[in-house]
Amino acid sequence: MRDDLLGNETWRVFRIMSEFVEGFEALRNIGPAVSIFGSARLGKTSKYYQKTMKIAELLAKRGFAVISGGGPGIMEAANRGAARAKGISIGLNIELPLEQKPNRYQNKSLHFKHFFARKVMFVKYAVGYVIMPGGFGTLDEFFEALTLIQTQKISHFPVVVVGSDYWKGLIRWMKTTMVKEGTISKEDLDLFHMTDDPEKVVEIIEDFYRDEIEGKDLMKIRGIPLEGITPL
């Protein structure tokens, strides 16, 4: 019985490896990309859905690929905005117990069974994160990005939080509790930006890309091949 269990675990490792290989092969030449996160529960009537579409469309027009989780809600809005601008619209779909239906606005789709393989793809090819209003999954991606930047496990890149009305309570708590108690430093709050203006979101990411990445080896450090990337 134990041998059977060990065998199953070994094959699981190979399945995980296959997800990494598939992701690396599919995304290696997409150029600079921005990952957008947000709730699957916010539909077309939500102001945040509409704002996400605008942000994704502007990013695509500036030459950035747009990456989402591939599902409904904010993820759909991100893919829809990028597709509307005829840009690269990527969905990193995940198998869930309550089935996630891929949205129809992806022109490049990947499918994952394991969250951690999918999470690597979000960060590996991104030159920026956009954090729209969302739930636990969005918070997970937001704080993981801050942790990786804070601990210098990845190179710094812009993390832009959108929706001041939604996020202001959390940001206030970070300032009044986390900084006060010394669990983070005041400077750690500079690891992200907050704005409600789609143009400003794009400006923050584009300016950083031009100033800090273009023409440097930082793209290689992040695992993105320099060949095939057209300067913005």
Q: Is 65 exposed, middle or buried (0-12, 13-18, 19+ CB in 10 A)?
A: buried
- Cα Rg for the chain, rounded, in angstroms? 18
Is 219 or 65 the better-scoring residue by pLDDT? Answer: 65
pLDDT in tens, 14-25: 888 888 888 888
∠ CA 158-142-12, nearest 5°, is: 115
Q: How far is CA 175 from the centre of its chain?
A: 24
Give 116-119 contacts, CB < 8 A, sequence gap 24+: 117/16, 117/19, 117/20, 117/23, 118/19, 118/23, 118/69, 118/92, 118/94, 119/144
**Angstrom distance (rounded) from CA 134 to CA 62:** 25
pLDDT in tens, 166-186: 999 999 999 999 999 999 999
CB count in 10 Å sphere of residue 24 = 14
Query: In residues, how long is the chain?
Result: 232
pTM of the shown model: 0.86
Tell which residue, 63, 67, 33, has the closest CA to residue 52. Answer: 67
Give pLDDT, residue 4: 46
Q: How far is CA 22 from the centre of its chain?
A: 18
Give pLDDT, residue 221: 37
Give mean pLDDT, residues 110-128. Answer: 90
Q: What residue has token string 């529960």?
A: 41
Question: Could you tell me what percentage of the chain is helix, strand and coil, using 3-state DSSP and rounding each to the nearest 5?
Answer: 50, 15, 35
Is 155 or 55 the better-scoring residue by pLDDT? Answer: 55
Q: Which CATH architecture has domain 2-221?
A: 3-Layer(aba) Sandwich (3.40)
